[in-house]
A and B are shown apart, each in its own frame.
Chain A
Amino acid sequence: MKIKKNIAVNESGFLFNPATGDSFSANPIGSEIIRLIKDGKSNDEIRCIIIKNYDVVSEAFEKDFYDFVSQLRDFKLLEEE
């Protein structure tokens, strides 16, 4: 899973798609996940990092993570696989 190369992401979690003009704001956890995806981490690695750093159980994280990734896909922010 990769964020499209042309998507600009800043530290505050603001995303801008220069091809469509769409912009999005992610909350701090969303920003962190996007940064991890951009760093090339696998889904398992992302799960381990978030569970280690936050008070969340694996099942709950996976459900929220799946929803979040679906949103990124719907908003055309991910590279087609």
Chain B
Amino acid sequence: MIRTPTRKRLTIAVTGLNAIDSPGPGIAIIRAIRECPDFTPRIIGLSYDALEPGIYMHDIADKTYQIPYPSTGSENLFSRLQYIHSKEKIDVIIPNFDAELHNFIKLSKKLNEMGIHLFLPSLSQLEAREKINLFAFCQKYGLRAPKDVVVYKESEIEKAGKQFGYPLVVKGKYYEATIAYSFEQARGVFYKLSAKWGLPVILQEFITGTEINIAVLGDGKGSAVSIIPMRKLYITDKGKAWAGITLKDKRLIALAEKFVKATKWRGGLELEIVRTENEKLYILEINPRFPAWIYLAKAAGHNQPVALVKMALGERVRKYKRYEVGKMFIRYSWDLITDLDKFQKISVYGEN
């Protein structure tokens, strides 16, 4: 009699269930993990807001718990995770928001001692690629980035305007960017973004060209396990890709490899690139986690989320090579109908 081998069961907690117009990557990551033939996952959603769509998508998360906002500090997060772990016995957590990574990195050793595994960059890697450090960071590693100026007060805007000319890009400390075509516009956006995200605000040289993003998974030793470049085909008013297509371009792959080799990046990563008319590649941003379109990487043949889970558990993962070029994604919106009872559970009890 042949015994059928049972698949390993893993409990994986994922944040970023906000599948909204500026989506987090959680849903895409969970889809990719659920399609892995090597293990049977139990997915725990970790949410901040009671209206994150992923909470109500029952083929996505098996159970969802609310966790405290990053601004409340790492100790609050730790005690909440202790409670969730006591119920769920989590094997791996994949955090997906830039703003929460600091806390998770700080807690990673303590969580590891509890049996919860993460695969994240170091704090110094995280801070080095922040928007306010981007130009210096890229210069250090021989990569091209638009020139920028970090601005703390209105009087500094005019100087930057003279230096870069208009239009220029005004960027919030953590999120959001707006193209300003005049000093008056730049001043207005400066106040709006500083009120929302705090100071400083970044003024950046405006580079025109084709917008390309690259999803990368670094092994922490200087090698990229997977690199998938994607061109944005449809861009929302928030600058997000609503449709995209995988590309084959050796220069993009080489750029990502150079980045990972230089930084020894550990974990998921997205490079936001502009390719100019004269074929120069500029790095506009470095996002320290998987992008929201990461399911396209899986569809093209590189299951980056699954590779990350395996590396978090200490397994050896072979470098992905070939992928399908010309694979497309088209995002869509859908009205999910749910009952008040479910909303009430997550709102009152913090779990659903």
Contacts and interface: CB of A to CB of B under 8 A. Distances in A.
7 closest A-B pairs by beta carbon, nearest first, are: A21-B231, A18-B248, A19-B249, A18-B325, A21-B245, A21-B247, A16-B326
Interface residues of B, number: 12
Given A19-B248, A20-B210, 14 more contacts: A16-B326, A18-B247, A18-B248, A18-B249, A18-B326, A19-B247, A19-B249, A20-B231, A20-B247, A20-B249, A20-B275, A21-B212, A21-B231, A21-B233
A27 interface: no
B211 to A, nearest CB: 10
17 contacts: A18-B247, A18-B248, A18-B325, A18-B326, A19-B247, A19-B248, A19-B249, A20-B210, A20-B231, A20-B249, A20-B275, A21-B210, A21-B212, A21-B231, A21-B233, A21-B245, A21-B247
Contacts of B248: 6, 18-19
B187 to A, nearest CB: 36
Nearest to B233: A21
Instruction: Give the interface size bracket for A toward B.
Output: under 10
Interface of B: 210, 212, 231, 233, 244-245, 247-249, 275, 325-326
Interface of A: 6, 8, 16, 18-21
Contacts of B245: 21
Contacts of B326: 8, 16, 18
A73 to B, nearest CB: 14
Contacts of A19: 247-249
A10 B13 CA distance: 44
Nearest to B232: A21
A6 B233 CA distance: 20
A15 to B, nearest CB: 12
